[in-house]
Every structure is written in C-alpha cells, then in structure tokens.
Structure 1
Amino acid sequence: MRSFIVVLISAMLVFSCDTNAVYKEYADIDDGKWYIKNAPSFTFEIDDASVPYNIYYNLRNSLSYGYYNLYLTRYLRDANGKEIESRLDELILMDPKTGKPNGDGLGDIFDHKFLMKRDYRFPKPGKYTMQIKQYMRQDPLLNILSVGITVEKANNTSTN
C-alpha cells in the first residue's frame, strides 16, 4: 500500500506542471528514423475559443542527431480538413558554436519544448488537427525519437 501511495504522489507531481494543458501527445519515430512521408497528425478539441492558447512542439532526440537544428513544416486544419495555416519553423536543438545540447537530458536523450504559437485564438470551438513533417531533406532523418505537441491555455503568470 505504501508503494502505491508513493507512485500516486509521484504521478501527481509529474502531471501538475501541465495544469494549463488541454492536450499533450507524442508520436514515436520508429527506430529513430524519421522518413519524409511520415507526417504525424495530432487531433485535439478546443472547447473555449474565447481564450488564447499557447501551442508547443515536443521533441525527443538522441545526442547522435547530426545537426544543431531541425526544420519542421506544420499544418493546422479545422474539423473539415480546411487548412488554416502552414509554416516552416526552425528548432535549435544544440548551440551551433559549442554543440552543447539544449533541452532536458538524461544520458544521451534530450527532450525539448519549443513555443510554436503564443496567445493563439482558434476561430471557433471544435476539433483541430496539427500535422508535422520533417523538412531536413534527409530521408530518413536519423536520431529523432519522438515528436508531438502541447496545447495549453495561455496564462501570463504561469511559470511552467
């Protein structure tokens, strides 16, 4: 019983830092080989379109990743599949001069959370889909382990 309580408290602490999150999901990249044709999609529900949201990329990579940056193309679509926007983003995974990895690391695995959109207001309540494609032109792109998104209600006083 005591170990159950310890596990329960640990789980509460892990999940408490995302109190504003309305959606958080990852897609694992098989064998760390991200093929161009593999474009994970994340579908989430927005109940309140009157408040702003922050949207983040979630990324996990190995230190063996061969570049300091990563180019991604994102596509945001509404419930009918209509594209609301698309954009190419550059994520900086390591310092370009020193090679020191950014993000939180454990061993040779690093997790990153990059702001994609700040204070975004969805046009209306409903389902939305974010699709992400790697745009590094290396096929497959090696040592990217997972990619995902987090959608949070914007809170300017939050220190998550």
Structure 2
Amino acid sequence: MHKYFQFLIGALLLVSCDSGLIYDQYQSIEDNQWASENNIEFIVSNTDTISAKNVFIAIRNNKDYNYSSIFLIAKIEFPKGLRVIDTLEYEMADSQGKWLGTGFTDVKENKLFYKENVVFTEKGDYKFNIQHATRGINDINGSAPLNGIIDVGLSIEKVN
C-alpha cells in the first residue's frame, strides 16, 4: 500500500509540473506497420482564441524502421472549413545511423515541431490529419507499409 501511495504522489507531481500541456494523444499503429493510406486523425476542441501554442507530432519507432528520415503530410481543418496542408521531413537517425529521440530501449520517441507559436483564432473542433509519404526506391506508389512505426501522436502546449 505504501509503494502505491508513493507512485500516486509521484504521478501527480509529474502531471502538475506540465501545466502548459493542452492536448496529448497517441494512436497505435497496428502490427507496427503504417500503411500510406492509414491516415491518423486527432480532433482537438479549442476555446482559447488568444494564447499562442506549439504543436508537435510524436513518432515512436523501433529498430525495424528502415529509413533515416520520415516524410509526413499533415493537414489541419479549422472549425469553419479552412484547410492547411504541409509536407514535412524529419530526421530520425544521425549520419552514423544512431536513432534520434528519447528512450533507453529499442523504442525511440521523436517529438517533432509542427507549428510554432500559433494562435488558433476560431472556437470549435480542429481536425489534425497525419499520413506518411515515405517511399522506398522500388515503391513509388507507396504500397509497402513503413515497418517499425509503433505510435503516432499529437501534442499541443501553451507557449509561456
């Protein structure tokens, strides 16, 4: 019982230290194989039309990921219908092939800047859609899934 209480206090302290976190969700990739047609969607309800925020995309991968970078197509649909589409490239490994990101095991997590210092000026639901656009040399159409992608996440933090 005493260890449970210590764990609960520790968890509460960690949560209370992260007061700028507004949204943080992950979606698991089935069998760690992200198909190009598998769009990951997050719906974020916004009521704060004044504060600046940073938006991050998180990618968790393991050693089965075959590339040193990842290409993503990220879309935001605003409550009133405006759509913003970005094509993004992020490095996943350094020039020596060492995985970037955090983690002590074979699983690495990369917290990638998507939008910096942005103000969501409309109240309502914002739809964030993420799909990969990474292709192998012999896979121009993207028919082969990306192996080694475990989770895709989205987090939004208030800028201090």
Give me the TM-score of the superposition, normalised by structure 2.
Answer: 0.89
Q: Which residue of 1 aligns with 2:152?
A: 147
**Unpaired segments of 5 or more residues in structure 1?**
156-160
Equivalences, count:
153
Q: Partners of 1:18 and 1:30 in 2: how far apart?
A: 29
Q: In the alignment, is residue 35 of structure 1 matched against residue 35 of structure 2?
A: yes
Calculate percent identity across the aligned residue pairs: 29
SS of 2:96's equivalent in the other structure is: coil
Partner Cα distance (1:151, 1:119) in 2: 11
Aligned counterpart, 2:127: 129
What CA distance in whole angstroms lies between the structure 2 residues aligned with 1:17 and 1:28? 26
- The Cα RMSD (Å) is 1.4
TM-score, with structure 1 as normaliser:
0.89
Give distance in 2, aligned partners of 1:115 and 1:19: 19
Q: Do the aligned partners of 1:75 and 1:83 also contact (CA within 8 Å) in 2? A: no
| SS of equivalent residue, structure 1 residue 105 | coil
- Alpha-carbon distance in structure 1 between the residues aligned to 2:32 and 2:20: 30
Q: 1:60 to 1:51 in 2, by over 3 A?
A: same
Q: Which residue type is aligned with residue 23 of structure 2?
A: Y
**Gaps (5+ residues) in structure 2?**
136-141
Which SS does the other structure have where 1:11 is aligned? Answer: helix
Q: Alpha carbons of 1:14 and 1:59: their partners in 2 closer, same or farther (altered >3 Å)?
A: farther
| Cα displacement (A) at 1:117 | 0.7
